[in-house]
A and B are shown apart, each in its own frame.
Chain A
Amino acid sequence: MCGGGGGGSSEAAAMERERQRRIEETVRRINELFGDPAREQIYEQQAQAVGERLQMQLDEQRADADRMIRQALARRALLGGSADIDAQREIAERYSEGLLQAQARARDAAAGLRQADEEAKQRLIALAQGGLDVGTAAQQALAAMRANAEAARAQYGAAQLGDLFGGLAQLYQLGQVARGRRAAERENPYGTYFPRRGGYAGRVNGY
């Protein structure tokens, strides 16, 4: 005599095996797309693009500061002296710090793009476990990566370094103004209302 019927359960087992196979195939395809070595190049390009943009700003700021300080030093005939070296050292130190900041931000830009891709990958894998088919998963993966790259470009396209040299150039210019004022006071300690030529007599009002 035959035993207990198992036709329905056998069919259910086959369907479950097929479901698991489809999910594993979809997840494998998603991991392939997001793990493509070409993505590494895109991250590098992002870092490079942001780095170049910030480098341009840095170089322009340095050139402006260098020009202003050289003018200030030249007016005082201090070019080629220790003051010149000190000024250049200050500029070089600020430039190096700015360069390191720019590089750190460029690398953060690449890491941020990679982070966005990882999050998209995990979202798609969760959808795959819910039944997303491999074709749709691949389309959504590519669309997510494109959207992440565009968002990263927009975010870092307007990246600014801030003013790294402005304080330094102003310091030299203010030093120039202060020196001019001291020279004027030495010439006329009582100010312009009491010219030495006319003696020391004067009218004092309001006391």
Chain B
Amino acid sequence: MCSGAEVAMMALMAAGSGLQAYEQQRALRRQERAAAEAMRRQQMFQERARRQVERTLEAFRPERRAERQAAAAEAEQEAFEDALAAARERAGGLIRQVAGRISGAYDTARARAVADETARAARIASLLARIRAPGLAGRQEAWRMGDLAVNLGMLGNFSRGQAGVDELAIRAAGRTSPWTMLAGDALKGYAAGRMMSAAYGRGRAGTSKLTIGGG
């Protein structure tokens, strides 16, 4: 049968263990919170990367690509036609007018030749613009992909750096307070010591000398 003092000592030991267990649970909860924060930050980086990829994918939809190619073809054709017009103006026409008296048939033939040559040049300009447009649009797309790769690389860089920092934070959060653990050890040690000395005294005298408050 345990005396009141022995029960008190056992309660002290339980309190010491309980204090340590409580501190460990607190540390575990802090660690879980830190890990959850770290996961949230990584998800944030993932989300930023996903948005960038989605924006780029949006730009690569077939209708957008077709629009870009059409715009590139239009810009090229405009530049070619401007150059042809400037050359004709500079030269006063690409099919020269012969000086002196000429026949009406010559005038008619010349006008037809001018019209034919102008139409032919415009047709070639249009074809050349359409041939070049996919390459020009593709070049712009390659630049866009390069920018995406660079941005994703930067996010990966930040993610890795943040992961390293978060790992330190998680470890730090999981550390128990040395003072609390020491207090628990002290309570357990004191209670164990008192119980052991009481058991030793009983062994010698046959009765327990342990009383609450000392002995």
Binding site for B on A (CB under 8 A): 1-6, 8-9, 12-13, 15-16, 19-20, 23-24, 27, 51, 55, 79-82, 84-86, 88-89, 91-93, 95-97, 99-100, 102-104, 107, 111, 115, 118, 122, 125-126, 129
Pair B175/A4 contact, Cβ less than 8 Å: yes
Q: Which one, B2-10, B110-118, B207-215, is touching chain A?
A: B110-118
Compute how far the CA of A126 lies from the CA of B146 in the bound complex, rounded to whole angstroms: 11
List 15 A-B pairs, Cβ < 8 Å: A1-B183, A2-B179, A3-B26, A9-B168, A12-B164, A16-B165, A55-B87, A88-B94, A88-B96, A92-B113, A93-B117, A97-B121, A102-B83, A111-B139, A122-B149
- Chain B: how many interface residues by the 8 Å CB criterion? 55
Compute how far the CA of A4 lies from the CA of B70 in the bound complex, rounded to whole angstroms: 63
Which residues of B lie under 8 Å from residue A103 when comparing CB positions? 79-80, 83
Pair B94/A3 contact, Cβ less than 8 Å: no
Compute how far the CA of A99 lies from the CA of B124 in the bound complex, rounded to whole angstroms: 11
Shortest CB-to-CB span from B162 to chain A, Å, is 6
Compute how far the CA of A104 lies from the CA of B80 in the bound complex, rounded to whole angstroms: 8
Q: CB-nearest residue of chain A relative to B169?
A: A9
Pair B176/A4 contact, Cβ less than 8 Å: yes
Is chain B's interface secondary structure helix, strand, loop, or mixed overall?
Answer: helix
Pair B84/A99 contact, Cβ less than 8 Å: yes
Please, what's the 1-or-0 string for B77-100, where 1 marks a CB less than 8 Å from any CB in chain A? Answer: 001100110010000001110101
Which residues of A lie under 8 Å from residue B179 when comparing CB positions? 1-2
Compute how far the CA of A92 lies from the CA of B143 in the bound complex, rounded to whole angstroms: 38
A9's partner among B27, B83, B125, B172 (CB-CB below 8 A) is B172
Which residues of A lie under 8 Å from residue B21 when comparing CB positions? none
Which residues of B lie under 8 Å from residue A4 when comparing CB positions? 27, 30, 172-177
Compute how far the CA of A91 lies from the CA of B165 in the bound complex, rounded to whole angstroms: 73
A3's partner among B27, B136, B171 (CB-CB below 8 A) is B27
Given contact pairs A93-B117, A96-B87, A96-B94, a sample of 7 additional A-B residue pairs in the complex whose CB atoms are under 8 Å apart: A1-B177, A6-B172, A13-B169, A88-B95, A89-B117, A96-B117, A99-B83
Q: CB-nearest residue of chain B relative to A7?
A: B172
Pair A96/B84 contact, Cβ less than 8 Å: yes
Pair B150/A100 contact, Cβ less than 8 Å: no
Compute how far the CA of A12 lies from the CA of B158 in the bound complex, rounded to whole angstroms: 14
Minimum-distance CB pairs A-B, first 9: A4-B175, A92-B94, A96-B121, A1-B180, A9-B169, A9-B168, A9-B172, A89-B113, A80-B98
Please, what's the 1-or-0 string for B96-136, where 1 marks a CB less than 8 Å from any CB in chain A? Answer: 10101010001001100100110011001100100010001
Compute how far the CA of A37 lies from the CA of B173 in the bound complex, rounded to whole angstroms: 51
Q: CB-nearest residue of chain A relative to B105?
A: A82
Q: Is residue B43 contacting chain A, with contact meaning CB distance below 8 A?
A: no
